[in-house]
């Protein structure tokens, strides 16, 4: 037990020392401090490369159907313009935005990569239901890119790995047997994953929900559709999600509750002549 305490102390010391050498940024909406080790130029390059790989994948079918493409691009453009007027305006204006619709009726997903590379799968249409629901989804994903959540996650992984390597060295120096070392390292690895990396991911998701809600409202879409979106998602994915403690995402119930708490702030940004729910999204899969 004494060795374990020493190891944990060493991990903490090494992590703090490394963190002290790295620039931190503060989220302009939540005030949360962010640890970032990757220069923005490299992050944008990686985003562009990943996006090109997705589009050039022979298994990926890009939709050319204007009924699917036009509403996605319309919502994306309004969300992007809202981002350029937001507290992320400087970052949003740096991005070279691009929007792609992927014809995959079974995938309920969308993503936005660094640099503003957005992809929406047609499988999200029945969940989003209308343009306001899609704005909630796209606002959420765009915030992940604007807030540099991907770079932050990579930085957290690097710091965690450095701490584990230090613990491994300490165990070897303490004369521990190989079995003891392997067992302790496995336990430490699980502890870091559950105690540090997953909670940071849940923080990112909640942050993206919050700021994405504000962007959707600023874009002119009724923010009250966001909790309805997650109610529909909960119905479709009932019994399929891991427990909140071991999940990288908040539970649907937590998300809905938080969105309701943030709603007054979002409604204050929603213009009186807003678009409401916008148009209904097209049916998929022969519906």
Model confidence at 188, pLDDT cuts 50, 70, 90, reads very low
Q: Is residue 241 part of a domain?
A: yes
- What pLDDT score does 9 carry? 56
Model confidence at 180, pLDDT cuts 50, 70, 90, reads very low
Q: Is residue 145 part of a domain?
A: yes
Q: Is residue 286 part of a domain?
A: no
pTM for the model stands at 0.79
Rounded CA gap, 181 and 187, in Å? 10
- What pLDDT score does 238 carry? 65
Can 280 be counted among the known catalytic residues? no
Range of the domain at 152: 2-269
Q: What is the SS3 assignment for 170?
A: helix
- What pLDDT score does 112 carry? 94
**Would you mind telling me the total number of residues written for the chain in this entry?**
287
CA dihedral 258, 259, 263, 266 (to 10 degrees): 120
Number of structural domains in the chain: 1
CB contact at 8 A, 152 and 89: no
Counting Cα atoms < 13 Å in the Cβ hemisphere of 103 gives 12
Q: Is residue 247 part of a domain?
A: yes
> Other CB atoms closer than 10 Å to residue 144's CB: what's the count?
21
Is the predicted pLDDT of residue 7 greater than 70, yes or no?
A: no
Nearest alpha-carbon partner for 232 in 87, 95, 130 = 130
Question: pLDDT tens digits, residue range 89-112?
Answer: 999 999 999 999 999 999 999 999
Rounded CA gap, 52 and 11, in Å? 38
Q: Is residue 191 part of a domain?
A: yes
Would residue 239 be called left, alpha or beta, if left means φ above 0 and alpha means ψ between -120 and 50 degrees? left
Question: pLDDT tens digits, residue range 120-139?
Answer: 999 999 999 999 999 999 99
> Other CB atoms closer than 10 Å to residue 276's CB: what's the count?
14
How high does pLDDT run on average in the chain?
83
Q: Which of 131, 141, 207, 225 is catalytic?
A: 141
């Amino acid at each position: 037990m004494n060795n374990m305490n020493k190891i944990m102390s060493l991990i903490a010391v090494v992590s703090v020392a490394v963190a002290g050498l790295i620039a931190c940024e503060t989220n302009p909406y939540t005030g949360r401090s962010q640890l970032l080790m990757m220069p923005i130029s490299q992050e944008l390059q990686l985003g562009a490369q990943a996006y090109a790989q997705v589009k050039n994948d022979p298994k990926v079918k890009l939709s050319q159907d204007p009924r699917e493409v036009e509403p996605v691009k319309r919502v994306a453009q309004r969300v992007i313009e809202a981002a350029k007027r937001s507290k992320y305006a400087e970052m949003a204006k740096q991005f070279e935005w691009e929007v792609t619709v992927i014809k995959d009726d079974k995938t309920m997903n969308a993503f936005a990569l660094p640099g503003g590379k957005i992809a929406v799968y047609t499988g999200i249409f029945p969940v989003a239901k209308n343009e306001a629901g899609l704005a909630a989804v796209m606002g959420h994903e765009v915030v992940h890119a604007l807030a540099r959540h991907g770079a932050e996650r990579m930085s957290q992984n690097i710091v965690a790995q450095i701490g584990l390597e230090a613990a491994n060295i300490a165990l070897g120096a303490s004369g521990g047997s190989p079995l003891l070392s392997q067992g302790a390292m496995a336990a430490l690895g699980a502890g870091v994953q559950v105690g540090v990396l997953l909670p940071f991911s849940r923080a990112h998701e909640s942050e993206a929900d919050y700021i994405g809600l504000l962007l959707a409202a600023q874009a002119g879409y009724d923010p009250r559709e966001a909790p309805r979106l997650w109610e529909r998602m909960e119905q479709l994915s009932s019994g399929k999600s891991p427990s909140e403690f071991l999940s990288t995402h908040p539970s649907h119930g937590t998300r809905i509750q938080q969105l309701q708490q943030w709603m007054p702030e979002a409604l204050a940004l929603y213009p009186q002549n807003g678009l409401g729910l916008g148009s209904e999204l097209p049916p998929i899969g022969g519906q």
